[in-house]
Amino acid sequence: MAGYCRVNAMTQRVMREGGPASYELTPAEKAKKVMVIGGGPAGMEAARIAAARGHEVTLYEKKGTLGGLLDFAHTVKGPHENLQDFKNYLIRQLEITGVKVETGVEVDVAKINAEAPDAVILAAGGLRDTLKVDGDGSAPVIEMESFMFTEMGENVLIYGSNAQAFDAALWLTVHKKHVTMITPNAAEEMDMQQSQHAMRMMTTALYSLGFSAWPKASLKSVNQNKAVIMTEAGVEMEIACDAIVNAADMLPNTSLLEGLSVAETYAVGDCANPFNIAKAIHAGNDAGRAV
């Protein structure tokens, strides 16, 4: 994952396959009315680039504030990654480029039809399936967005192995929890959304603190705070489990674009290809240049 930047979409991408043709922004031949749906990093990047090129851009966010998962990432990763500063930078860029921002507005097909835009850029974020666990309910399932603010016992099972799952594992381990990760993914696919440096550092730290992970495994049931998992080798194991954090891989979320009578539509960020902040910024930048 080395070789690109989560802030600057140009780094290591200009004049390369799949990347922008140049550093410069080409002015729009004709100003278009552009709706950007979603105020996370992908949506804000798409909006600022499209507006900087001369389009009339309105960004809609269903929550009351902008940032998407950046606030969550800042909290779980810590201040050293400067994600709060990055969010503030993107918000300021919207102001500088003249993007109209409407928060607290959930966009549906009727709203899009009423606005009659020339282009829609969907950046609504991905979806995560509800994790259903057989058993007696002794270990509650806690959604990723709330695990830092939820009281739980000592033994925590994390279901999933993406970057968010590993961030959660490190946060919980540092907070004195005994963490076990199980994932349907193969070992070589674990934590692949992060840089090689972060993966090596995080994995080393976690294993040194007693963390354990089971790739290609499944969660069979939880009863009396004991989880039964099936390993890759087909062996059933029982581990202590007071809570389960649902960190399953996110799924695309593009249904809003289906059947729209809009000349141009784009899907960017996690709603199109759930991965990481850098990929979201790249996709938003590319859409802002393409519209």
Q: What is the DSSP string of 116-178?
A: --SEEEE----B-------B-SSS-EEEGGGGGGS---SEEEEE--SHHHHHHHHHHHHTT-E
61 and 118 in a single domain? The answer is: yes
- Residue 10: inside a domain: no
Note the pLDDT of residue 3.
55
- Residue 134: inside a domain: no
78 and 157 in a single domain? The answer is: no
Give yes or no for a contact between 254 and 122, defined as CB atoms under 8 angstroms apart: yes
198 and 217 in a single domain? The answer is: yes
Which residues does the chain have with pLDDT short of 50? Answer: 1-2
- Residue 162 belongs to domain spanning: 141-246
* Amino acid residing at 63: K
SS3 content of the chain, % helix, strand, coil (to 5): 35, 20, 45
The separation between CA 86 and the C-alpha centre of its own chain, rounded to angstroms, equals 15
- Residue 135: inside a domain: no
Note the pLDDT of residue 1.
41
Q: Angle formed by the axes of helices 196-208 and 163-174, to 10°?
A: 40
218 and 277 in a single domain? The answer is: no
Note the pLDDT of residue 5.
77
CATH for 157: 3.50.50.60
Long-range contacts, 51-55 (Cβ 8 Å, 24+): 51/94, 51/97, 51/98, 51/99, 52/25, 52/97, 52/288, 53/25, 53/26, 53/27, 53/28, 53/288, 53/289, 53/291, 54/27, 54/28, 55/28, 55/31, 55/119, 55/291
Write the DSSP assignment of 43-76 as a string of letters: HHHHHHHHHHTT-EEEEEESSSSS-TTHHHHHHH
pLDDT digits (tens, 9 = 90+) for 230-239: 999 999 999 9
Sheet holding 226-230, edge to edge: 218-223, 226-230, 236-240
* Amino acid residing at 162: N
| Burial 7-39, CB ≥16 within 10 A → b, else e | bebeeebeeeeebbeeeeeeebeeebebbbbbb
CATH for 92: 3.40.50.720
Total count of domains within the chain: 2
Non-local CB neighbours of 224 within 8 Å, separated by 6+ positions: 136, 138
- Residue 102: inside a domain: yes
* Amino acid residing at 139: A
- Residue 27: inside a domain: no
121 and 255 in a single domain? The answer is: yes
Note the pLDDT of residue 231.
94
CA pair distance 250, 113, nearest whole angstrom:
28
CA pair distance 180, 239, nearest whole angstrom:
9
- Residue 9: inside a domain: no
